[in-house]
Structure 1
Amino acid sequence: MSKHLSTPFRFDYVGSFLRPAKLKEARQQFAEEKISADELKAVEDDGIRELVAKQKKAGYHVITDGEFRRSYWHLDFMWGLEGIEHIELDHGYYFHGEETTHGSCAVTGKIGGHNHPFVEHFKFVKQFEDENTIAKQTLPAPAQTLAELFRGDNGKTTRKFYPEEEELIKDLAAAYHTVFLELYAAGCRNIQLDDCTWGMIVDDGYWQTHIEPGVTVESEANRYLRVNNLALQDLPKDLVVNTHICRGNYHSAYAASGPYDRVAPYIFAKENVHAYYLEFDDERSGSFECLKEVTPGKKVVLGLITTKRPELEDKNAVIARIHEAAKYVPLEDLYLSPQCGFASCEIGNKLTEAEQWAKLALVKDIAETVWGK
């Protein structure tokens, strides 16, 4: 691996990819106890090898496992923490036009992060690094786990083990810190924290239906900011931690709407990450004016290419938007990617694998036009 490589790259992606049919079939067979865990892993391994080869062929400098070993972008990680178990609710998340599957998680004891299975998942991908590519590990942000532990009736169980939220925040942050360090020991130098909590805060409908009376934007934002930053304290200086912030992605449906303006003074000015991967693919995202809050010197990855629809964006229109964003963040600190992953959950978005790779080819083409090869 070349030592100068680190995320983000001028042309980049969030991390999840459409699952091959044979992988979906194997995961279903495993759920039905028709194949063993080892047999499923063999199919996952093969799928990830093929995916990494395609990522490299596409000319990208970052490789991931496509989240091929997960059902969800976030819950599988939470289930791997100590003191948290997999549960099924009687309903899913309610996206616009679609309800998701019903997975969630519940606290069963003191939360910890030792021996997380994602560390082994990372090791498998790391072996494919070379002088042109590095592996990154995607995880849900600590704030996302905190939010899940209070989703619906989950809060009752959480409060049984953690009557004081401050203790929960400290334990959760410490668990993440443990995972970060174990990933680092495994050779990981690039971590991405995926975070939809900010999308919930900016969505007026969510605020009206899910937030208790008396809770303010400031108190909610500071709560999420605190757990994220606490987990990020005292990490090795050569460990790059970025965050991806969007408004939900499930089978091409979205969960929230609203510009980043309401939360920009918190996340862009105060979250201790190196770069922000941001969703700016349609009118739900608002303008770029919120980027004026970004701490000078930090990097912003503009998610201007949508993964929710197969149609390719107009190249010149995207280039114009990049230069519009450069009014708020210097062009040298801007980067380009799709606005989210292609399959945040294993169901995937409504486009084909060929259309997925065409989107990434467009991202690369635009980035090389704007910043040079």
Structure 2
Amino acid sequence: MTSTVVEEKLHYDIVGSFLRPEKLKQARKDYTAEKITKEQLRNIEDTAIRDLVAKEKENGLRIVTDGEFRRSWWHLDTFWGFSGIEHVTSKQGYSFHDEETRAESARVIGKIKFSADHPDVAAYKFLHDLTANDEDITARQSIPAPAQFYAELVRGEENVAALREVYPDDTELIVDIGNAYRGLYLALYDAGCRDIKIDDCTWGMVVDNKFWATMANGEFDRETLQKLYLAVNNASLVDLPEDLRISTHVCRGNYHSTWATSGGYAPVADYLFAKEKVQAFYLEFDDNRSGDFAPLAAVPDNKKIVLGLVTSKKPELEETQSLIARVKEATQYVPLENLELSTQCGFASTEEGNKLTEEQQWAKIRLVVETAKKIWG
């Protein structure tokens, strides 16, 4: 069964990452400390993913992921898998509200190309094998967006200098990023994947004036950035199989229950919503930092909107009637049949995870499923 068939029956979804079990966290530490082998780590990951998929099914999900259990980061691990990229320690981590992350990055050392041994493909194959015989389940692969890749390659002076040694301007760079990503999509498709979600914080950065005041002293051209990010993403979304569903999740940062940027979708609606060649948008609407629903009017009629109304950052459960009311409010701009309900983000975009327990995580998932059934039947 393809994801399209499953999607027609569902109006609830997830973003994809889940809290790592303590045994898995310890195994990653032990592997880093050379106390266990890579094969031993993989076996522990395999067991944790099997357990996770079982829990996803038990809690009512029919679109499942591997929780991103094989990754340290939601984005860097994918970047490191491309040819022409090296794993580096940076001068500074990512700045979040009240916290700073570990200092790692991805840097260009040669022409960017898809590599047949990309770790995301191997990771998906394991998930596919776990679910292939279950006609009611779709196995989804989440990867960072091409625009996010571009943004990483220009993060900091050292990254920019290395990039321009190989790519003097963006023309060839955009083509190569697009081709590398398209190679990844097709390899995942050949492995059985019919549902890919590209996670993207770049649009969340574009809308935040305070972010740019810090990053560039306020000296940025919002329209130029939008054209750039749209071009990078759309360069990868060409000549793909008709039964491959590609969606995007727009995020404002999700690290240890903190956030990075703020701002509603209005400044980017005419580019992101109207022109990005994806089939669905997963959008954060869990607090006032995300603005109102009015920009959804720019979404074409043939695309789905997944409303991230249930926060993954806090353990407290939202009120069911409040969620129902907010979905009704969104129907002023998007027909009810084109709407779905989800958590606003994953529970562990990095291996650190957000500040809630696994039990609270699953309570959030059940709330999404049960509320969606009350709204859509």
The bucket for the TM-score relative to the shorter chain is over 0.9
> Which residue in the other structure is 1:242 paired with?
247
In the TM superposition, residue 332 of structure 1 has moved relative to its aligned partner by 0.2
Contact 1:15 1:138 in 2 (8 A): yes
Q: How does 1:212-223 map to 2 (within 5 A)?
A: 215-223=220-228
Q: 1:74 to 1:110 in 2, by over 3 A?
A: same
Could you report, residue by residue, the CA deviation over 1:166-190 in whole angstroms, capped at 9, with x for unpaired residues?
1111101100000011111111100
In the TM superposition, residue 211 of structure 1 has moved relative to its aligned partner by 3.6
> Which residue in the other structure is 1:79 paired with?
80
CA distance in 2, matches of 1:246, 1:135: 22
In structure 2, what residue type is equivalent to 1:121? A
CA distance in 2, matches of 1:331, 1:211: 40
> Which residue in the other structure is 2:211 paired with?
206
Contact 1:107 1:157 in 2 (8 A): yes
**Which one of 255, 278, 281 corresponds to residue 276 of structure 1?**
281
> Which residue in the other structure is 1:325 paired with?
330
Q: How does 1:1-373 map to 2 (within 5 A)?
A: 1=1, 5-7=5-7, 9-115=10-116, 116-129=118-131, 130-153=134-157, 154-211=159-216, 215-372=220-377
Could you report, residue by residue, the CA deviation over 1:110-159 in whole angstroms, capped at 9, with x for unpaired residues?
10112111111001001122111010000000000000000012111111
Could you report, residue by residue, the CA deviation over 1:12-41 in whole angstroms, capped at 9, with x for unpaired residues?
100000000000000001111111100000
**Higher mean displacement: 347-356 or 197-206:** 197-206
Contact 2:273 2:299 in 1 (8 A): yes
Contact 1:259 1:285 in 2 (8 A): yes
CA distance in 2, matches of 1:2, 1:228: 24
In structure 1, what residue type is equivalent to 2:280? A
Q: 1:182 to 1:302 in 2, by over 3 A?
A: same
Structure 1 unmatched ranges of 5 or more: none
Q: 1:121 to 1:7 in 2, by over 3 A?
A: farther
CA distance in 1, matches of 2:291, 2:18: 26
In structure 1, what residue type is equivalent to 2:337? E
CA distance in 2, matches of 1:302, 1:111: 34
Percent of pairs identical after alignment?
53
CA distance in 2, matches of 1:318, 1:62: 21
Structure 2 unmatched ranges of 5 or more: none
Could you report, residue by residue, the CA deviation over 1:78-100 in whole angstroms, capped at 9, with x for unpaired residues?
00011011111122101001101
Q: Provide the TM-score with structure 1 as the length reference.
A: 0.98
CA distance in 1, matches of 2:248, 2:232: 14
Q: Provide the TM-score with structure 2 as the length reference.
A: 0.97
Contact 2:78 2:120 in 1 (8 A): yes
CA distance in 1, matches of 2:140, 2:7: 8
Could you report, residue by residue, the CA deviation over 1:295-319 in whole angstroms, capped at 9, with x for unpaired residues?
1121000000000000000110110
CA distance in 1, matches of 2:31, 2:130: 27
In structure 1, what residue type is equivalent to 2:130? F
CA distance in 2, matches of 1:276, 1:193: 10
Q: 1:2 to 1:300 in 2, by over 3 A?
A: closer
CA distance in 1, matches of 2:282, 2:4: 20
Q: What CA RMSD, in Å, does the superposition of the two structures yield over aligned residues? A: 1.2
Could you report, residue by residue, the CA deviation over 1:325-373 in whole angstroms, capped at 9, with x for unpaired residues?
010000000000000000000000000000000000000111000000x
Between Structure 1 and Structure 2, how many residues are aligned? 372
Q: 1:48 aligns to what SS in structure 2?
A: helix
Q: 1:270 to 1:2 in 2, by over 3 A?
A: closer
Could you report, residue by residue, the CA deviation over 1:172-228 in whole angstroms, capped at 9, with x for unpaired residues?
110000001111111110000000000000111112222477641111001000010
CA distance in 2, matches of 1:162, 1:310: 45
In the TM superposition, residue 2 of structure 1 has moved relative to its aligned partner by 5.9
Contact 2:4 2:243 in 1 (8 A): no
**Higher mean displacement: 214-223 or 33-42:** 214-223
CA distance in 1, matches of 2:370, 2:93: 38
Q: 1:59 to 1:213 in 2, by over 3 A?
A: closer
Could you report, residue by residue, the CA deviation over 1:235-256 in whole angstroms, capped at 9, with x for unpaired residues?
0111000000010000000000
